[in-house]
Structures are given as C-alpha cells and as structure tokens.
Structure 1
C-alpha cells in the first residue's frame, strides 16, 4: 500500500461517518467515499499539509451535491422517507453525543435542513470542526457558515427533543415493546406508549407499510396488534426471529425470516420512559447495510 493509499485508509471511517450523517444513506455514503478516493488519487497532493481537512472538504462537497440530486427522489418517495439504518459499534453507543448524532430521530430532523445547513451542522456538532475549518470544507465564508450553523441548530433543537434515556432502560422497553407487539397485546402496548406517540414506517412502496405516520397511542397500538395477526411478506410472525442489536447508536430490533432481513425497529423514549417515537424500516433497499452484518464506527 502506497503512502497515499494508507493516508486515505486512515481517514476512511471518518469520511464515511461525515457522508452518512449528511446523506442518511449508507449506500450513498459509500459511493461518496469511493468518489472521494478517485478525486484524492487524481489530485496534486504535494501541497496538501492537512490530509484530514482536505479529505473532509472533498467528502462534504460531494455529499452536498449528492443530497441536492436526491432530494427530488425523496420528495416523490412512496410513504415516509426514513434514513437507511446501520449497525453501529458499542463505542458509538457509549458516547451519548455520538449516539444521538446518528440516531434515526436525529437523521429524520436533519432531512429538513438545506444541504449546506446539514453539512455545517454535522461538521460542527458531530465532529467539533472549527468555523474556519468548516468554511474551508464547504467553500463558504466563515460568516456564512456561522449563520448556517445558527439556523441549523435552532431548527434541530426545536424539532428534536433531547430525552436522556438510560441505556439499559431503553433496551428493556424495546424488548417489552416488541413482545407486546408480536403478541398483539393492546393493553400492554397502551401502557408503554406515550399519548402522542408517532409511528413512522418505511416500505418505499415495495412492501406493505403505513403510507402516513400514525399518531396517538390507540391508533399505533391497533395498527401494531393488527400486523401481528397476519403474515408479513409471506412470512408468519411465528416463523420470524428477532435479535436486539446496536442500530444507529442505540438498541434496536432486527427481524428476520425466510432467509432474509425483513425489517428493523427502533424506539425513542420520552422523559417519563414511555415510547414517543417508533421507526420501522422494511424497504428491502434500505436493509442492505444491516444484512451485511458489519458494525460501523461513526466517530
């Protein structure tokens, strides 16, 4: 391996981590990292004094360009568009800030930012880049970057309640919630769900899912109990296996059956320990990173 190859390899995890947070898609992030390698290989690197900053600039701009090109596709997506879940390593989960920055709830909020605001927010909040470093990375003035960061931070904080759930508690609730869902136990579900709980399901028009978010404990409990009474994509509930794994920095459930990954399920808790948000992703195109089985380090 040449020095240039080794330098890129040393920063590859960081580059993927930046791209994934900006794009919310592991597949797109991998493509961006590959494009960054081609650009890095072709560029004159003799004047590069800080490879990390240089590569971060390449990836940030490639990610913003790709995000702009995919936004129209996401606007016409069948049903809610949710980020692509990934398996994460325990070091990410042990760091509360890192775990929150890659949570599905956070990535959903980031979808509402402009590409520039999203890139600036990710570089500042997740990786603690200075404003000067971010300005160089996104090729804007430092003043413009500060303004974008302020807008993004206000927007995110207004839409992303920050509940500090105990990790063991969250795992326990996740397991209880799944057992109640599979068992069709509406009463048990109602006890665990916050009154204004929201269920987001993403089938992408390829598998059966709710086409709009379901809001309210009674609505969500009825929908979950109903799905447990019939086969899903030809697989009986009794024939499915469930595994609690690390998904996007927190405990989540991977459902498998008939030799394939069927869906992922993650929850967020409110400050009373009740389930406030549920993300259920079943679009087969978004389960490839989970099916790969390789946890990611996103620090």
Structure 2
C-alpha cells in the first residue's frame, strides 16, 4: 500500500495520472462525436478519431521524452485541441466547452495559482477566437446560450481559483505554525527533530563538542527573550513542550553551557535544566532529547538540585 501511494504521489506518478486523465477525456469526446449526426463544419466522419490519435501520440511523446517546459507544452496542446474540438461541435452551446473547465482547474490544482491564472487567461483568449468564428457561420442568431455558458464557466473557474488561493494561504499558515512556535518565536519541537539531526554526526566527524540542553521554567516567553539575547547565531533553540526549551549548542563544551545556564537562572529564579555533551555520533537527536527529559525529572527548584548532568548514552 505504501509503495503504491509513494508512486502515485511522486512527480512521475502525477505526470502519468495527468496523461491518463487526458486520454480518458479525449476518448470521451470521441464517443460524443461518434454519436453525433453532424459536425458544425462539413468534415469527414473520421476527423474526431484522427484528432484523438494525433493528440494522444503527441502527449505520449511529451510523457516519455520530457523536454524542457513539457508541462507548458502539454497544456498548450490541451487548449489548441479543445479549440479545434469546439469548432467541430454542432451543439449550441457546444457541450465540449465544459472540458475547458477541467483543463484549467486541473492545472491549478497540480501547479498552483500562477499556472491556474495563466491557463484561465489562455482559455479566455481561445474562446475569444473560437466563438466569433462559430457565430459568424451560424445560420440563425443563437449567441445567448453560448455566451451564458462562457460566463458561467468563467465564474466557476474564478471561484475555484479563489479556493485554490485560499488553500495555499492556509497551507502556508499551517506550515509556519508547524515550523515556528508563536509564544517563543523559536522553532517547534517537530521542526527541531526533523531538521537538526544532522548536527550530531557532523560534530562527531569534526571532533567538536555538541552540547544539548533542556530548560524548564513556568514563564517560558520571558525566558525565551533572554535566551534569544544570549545564544549565538549558530546555536539552535526550540520550544520543546509547554514549559521547556531545547538548545543545541555547537562547538560548546559542558563548562560553557553551564555558565550560560547559571546566567539564565540568575535572571529567572526557579529555572531547572539538564544538559549533556554528546560523545557518540550515532545517537539520534530525538533519542538524546528523550534521555535529557528523563534526567530533568531528577531536578528540583532548590539551588543544589536545579541542574542535572545526563549520563552518556551507550
């Protein structure tokens, strides 16, 4: 199951799904024309099938050879083909116009708001060319239905464009909330564990001490302001839980870390802390932080027991 999900969510899986969707909608259009008595313009009955095979082969070529800007070429091919299809469609308004909605929306969902707006503008340009050609050959004035469908589809596409924009804004806000803690302005625990683990083997390789510190205090935002003023740009500070901060202090010996903690405790009575200088590059960062958390349980707010030195991990 996981393997199948990984294939579908990969870049190659998305491209393959796009191709299958294009082929399916193209086949649907061919069946529609196959059951239609006549075309808008007098053409051989095999024209839709010829157009279908040409479209599928070109898209298949883009799928396998993947030239530069192949996605843009494929989208342009979609619009060009839809323009020809709408000129063939004898319906008034042409039902195949609905495929424009599918093409524009799918580009927005897969490639974001910018591609959506580009496709929407290109679709409107294509309609501005195709509809006057159709209307100029219409035997009777019958433009109101087509114009209504164009307006309805345009409003729908703009609505879904706003929804895509809204979802992107919410996704960015959720990512920022996951990355940054709003109370301390430090990174979150999840961000620390997922991004800072490389510091452990790096400092083991260069034989430089990496000291890990957990700090606990009831007034965490005030403590965070003091920590932000005292740590270096190379240090990593994170919100660990409701009342704890985690610090990663590269190239810092135990004595230097102790001095930092003593200075913080002078300004924030009641502070408790646990520290450990890593000596094993194979230790996972999350494992080391859990070990520090267990050592923190030995501390109290008394002057002689506020700081715990965690034993080395074996």
Q: Identify whether the pair has TM-score above 0.5, normalized to the shorter chain.
A: no
TM-score range, shorter chain: under 0.3
Larger radius of gyration: 2
> Which is richer in strand?
1
Which structure has the highest helix share of the two?
Answer: 2
- Structure-1-length-normalised TM-score: 0.24
